[in-house]
Amino acid sequence: MSLTDRERELLRLLREHPLATPEDLARLTGNTRAAVNVHLTRLREKGHILGRGYVLRPEGSVLVIGGANLDLKSRLHAPAVPGTSNPGTTTAAPGGVARNIAENLARLGVPTGLLSAIGHDDTGARLLDATRASGVDVSPIVRTDDPTGTYSAILDPHGELILAVASMRAVDALTPDVIRTRRALIDRASAVIVDCNVPQDTLLHAARTAQASHTPLYVEPVSVPKAARLRALLAEGLPVHAVTPNRDELAALTDRDTRTDDGLHAAVQDLHARGVRVVWVRLGEAGSLLSADGDARHHAATPTQVRDVTGAGDAMLAGYLYATLRGDDPHTAARAGHALAALTIQSDHTVRPDLTADLLDAHTQETA
């Protein structure tokens, strides 16, 4: 939920003077004690002050819930020939929608925790070590007897996706009970991102918990089949701050034909009518359509040389949230999202290992 200028000022003062009384705050702001108490009550209602006293939500922290897996990417040396073996090159690297988003955010300097599930196997150990080394807090992660998930992608010679297979059984270990035992992480977060790899009942419980904590909820549909899990959340009327589908996922969410511009805009309005504040539709090379609070605008894709499209959507959401947390409006934040997607697909890596906030900010300005 957005803050007024007065509420932002009070939060700043509370961070600087954690033992300040309402009388102190009234004096520092030139306001009455009664007015200060009203603002403090609203800050508690919005989840920025936790419990009794002035226990503040950590500034700018994010919890990402969902898939973590090993990415196996096979890039063909020539156009695909069905029904036979094709020469190419295969690489293995850490991946998973939630994990990729978390690593992008951590490399941008955002305090980020990852709640996922991985197996008690060598792949899981490798995934855990690599994610921790990138700066992500991996302490919330659940270990399971199921094998660590894998994402196997076939790319054409230009790096465009031909086909992918996701084996994500491990994420079924993310049950509602896991969310309950980690509720404090949602309470303390400035934003929660959930990808639709998680079971539907877990998605629902995470949404209810975020609602109770007044924590903005971002949902990444992941794929057309998994987008169906979001429909139950919307049907229940739970608040969703932002949803980030592509055209096909948007069609699956709304039962509309989104292949035309009229159908696309009508589907976006359907989601707004169901309580989604921000709808950001990825349109591939055509850029994106972002609609926030009734203000819908098309954003062109940032020009770049494509090396590998894997992870571009995850980077877009991470760049957007990074910019939002520093105070950018949704459409300015969208430009940061597109810039990070461009930086990602011009690299062979799912998440750029050289990513920094300075790199993203410079690229966003260069391509504005």
Q: What is the DSSP string of 271-294?
A: HHHTTEEEEEEE-GGG-EEEEETT
Query: Given this model, what pLDDT does residue 22 score?
Result: 82
What are residue 186's phi and psi, to 5 degrees? -70, -40
Enter the pTM of the model.
0.82
Tens-digit pLDDT profile for residues 190-234: 999 999 999 999 999 999 999 999 999 999 999 999 999 999 999
Query: Given this model, what pLDDT does residue 189 score?
Result: 93
Query: Given this model, what pLDDT does residue 53 score?
Result: 57
**Averaged pLDDT in 10-residue chunks for the chain of 368 residues:** 77 73 82 87 74 59 95 94 96 94 97 96 94 94 94 91 91 96 90 96 97 95 94 93 97 96 96 96 95 93 86 96 94 97 93 96 90
Query: Given this model, what pLDDT does residue 28 score?
Result: 82
Percent of the chain with pLDDT over 90: 73
Residue 91 Cα to chain centre, angstroms:
25
Any idea where the domains of the chain sit in the sequence?
5-56, 62-69+94-151+164-366
Residue 4 Cα to chain centre, angstroms:
25
Residue 125 contacts residue 47 (beta carbons within 8 Å)? no
Query: Given this model, what pLDDT does residue 55 score?
Result: 57
On the 0-12 / 13-18 / 19+ scale of CB atoms within 10 A, 327 is: exposed
What are residue 96's phi and psi, to 5 degrees? 105, 135
What are residue 81's phi and psi, to 5 degrees? -115, 110
CATH class of 62-69+94-151+164-366: alpha beta
Listed residue (127, 125, 172) closest to 146, CA to CA: 172
Length of the chain: 368
DSSP state of 303: P
Q: What is the dihedral of CA 254, 257, 259, 262, to 10 degrees?
A: -90
Query: Given this model, what pLDDT does residue 188 score?
Result: 86
Query: Residue 279 to residues 177, 230, 237, 266: CA-CA distances in angstroms?
Result: 29, 13, 16, 12
Write down the CATH number for the domain with range 5-56.
Answer: 1.10.10
